[in-house]
């Protein structure tokens, strides 16, 4: 009888665990994402296995969200190996993104996305001053994200760049390529086409990113872009020196 009772208790306990896990709220996933990145899952609904939320990016104080909702569903085959495997879909990505979490790190499959350039405002100065417009074309390799940092390569093309501070539109096309390993990395900014000319490079170490470069304009456009360039940094002759610092 004692064995029967013991098995009954064990089965009941297992049933409770399975039930709780199956109906685990989507907020659990949101907590994992927030712990390892600046992404936020706002207004989550559904469960850990199948749900949706508004996707946002936080600067530590405020969160800027993308239009529409991001949806996820569990990838059971990967989960059989002790990892939480998910397929994530959103209107800004070309195809579902593969994500897995093993309790220590988030692994992200390679992908592409199109975001409004207004999302740059979460970086703070100078983007929250110039009110950027245009389109961000984002590409990334297979990457890993953990408490130890980020491993991977990200390329961001800012197409048809605009600013509320300038009547000139577009300002040009710009590209940033970031390579990171753990808490160290580097970035390079180049201008693909003007009339605004931005160049520079940055270094990341222990979560601190420092960028230095220059801003200028094509000679015939300097008078029209003088006001915008002036808010990007201190002047040095015809150019403006870019010295930006961010925390990842």
Q: Which of 69, 102, 135 is the last residue of a domain?
A: 102
Q: Give the model's confidence band at 48: pLDDT under 50 very low, under 70 low, under 90 confident, else very high.
A: confident
Q: Is residue 239 part of a domain?
A: yes
98 with 122, same domain: the answer is no
Kindly state whether residue 189 falls inside one of the protein's structural domains: yes
* Residues 118 and 241 grouped into a single domain: yes
Residue 134, in any domain of the structure = yes
Of 102, 118, 151, which one is at a domain's C-terminal end?
102
Pairwise CA distance, residues 96 & 44, whole Å: 18
Supply the range of the domain harboring residue 227.
Answer: 110-248
- The domain total for the chain is 2
**Residue 166 and residue 196 in one domain:** yes
Instruction: Give the number of other Cβ atoms within 10 Å of residue 96's Cβ.
Output: 17
Instruction: Examine the domain organization and report whether 88 and 118 are in the same domain.
Output: no
Residues 94 and 172 in one domain: no
Going from the C-alpha of 23 to that of each of 12, 106, 185, the distances in angstroms are 17, 22, 39
Averaged pLDDT of the chain = 82
| Nearest to 158, CA basis, from 167, 171, 149 | 171
68 and 151 in a single domain? The answer is no
Which residues, other chains included, contact 25 with Cβ-Cβ below 8 Å and sequence gap of 6+?
44, 47, 48
Residues 170 and 211 in one domain: yes
How many other CB atoms sit within 10 Å of the CB of residue 152?
Answer: 18
47, 77, 102 — which closes off a domain?
A: 102
- Assign 79 a pLDDT band (cuts: 50, 70, 90): low
Q: Are both 162 and 80 inside the same structural domain?
A: no
| Same domain for 161 and 74 | no
Query: Which of 55-59, 115-119, 174-178 shows the lowest mean pLDDT across its residues?
Result: 55-59
| Residue 8 pLDDT exceeds 70 | no
User: Confidence band (pLDDT; 50, 70, 90) for 221?
Assistant: very high
- Inside any domain, residue 5: no
Same structural domain, 188 and 219: yes
pTM beyond 0.75: the answer is yes
């Amino acid at each position: 009888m004692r064995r029967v009772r013991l098995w009954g208790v064990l089965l009941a306990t297992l049933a409770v665990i399975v039930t709780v896990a199956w109906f685990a709220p989507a907020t659990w996933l949101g907590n994992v994402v927030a712990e390892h990145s600046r992404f936020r899952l706002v207004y989550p609904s559904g469960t850990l296995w199948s749900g949706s939320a508004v996707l946002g990016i936080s600067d530590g104080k405020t969160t800027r969200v993308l239009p529409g909702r991001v949806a996820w569903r569990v990838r059971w085959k990967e989960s059989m190996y002790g990892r939480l495997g998910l397929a994530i879909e959103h209107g800004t990505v070309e195809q579902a993104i593969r994500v897995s979490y093993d309790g220590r790190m988030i692994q992200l499959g390679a992908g592409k996305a199109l975001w409004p350039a207004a999302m740059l405002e979460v970086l703070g100065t100078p983007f929250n001053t110039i009110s950027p417009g245009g389109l961000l074309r984002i590409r990334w390799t297979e990457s890993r994200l953990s408490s130890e940092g980020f491993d991977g390569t990200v390329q961001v093309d800012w197409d048809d760049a605009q600013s509320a501070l300038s009547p000139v539109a577009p300002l040009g096309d710009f590209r940033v390529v970031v390579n990171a390993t753990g808490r160290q990395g580097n970035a390079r900014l180049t201008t693909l086409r003007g009339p605004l000319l931005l160049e520079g490079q940055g270094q990341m170490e222990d979560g601190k990113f420092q960028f230095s470069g220059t801003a200028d304009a094509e000679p015939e456009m300097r008078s029209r872009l003088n006001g915008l360039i002036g808010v990007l940094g201190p002047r040095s002759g015809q150019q403006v020196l870019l010295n930006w610092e961010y925390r990842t």
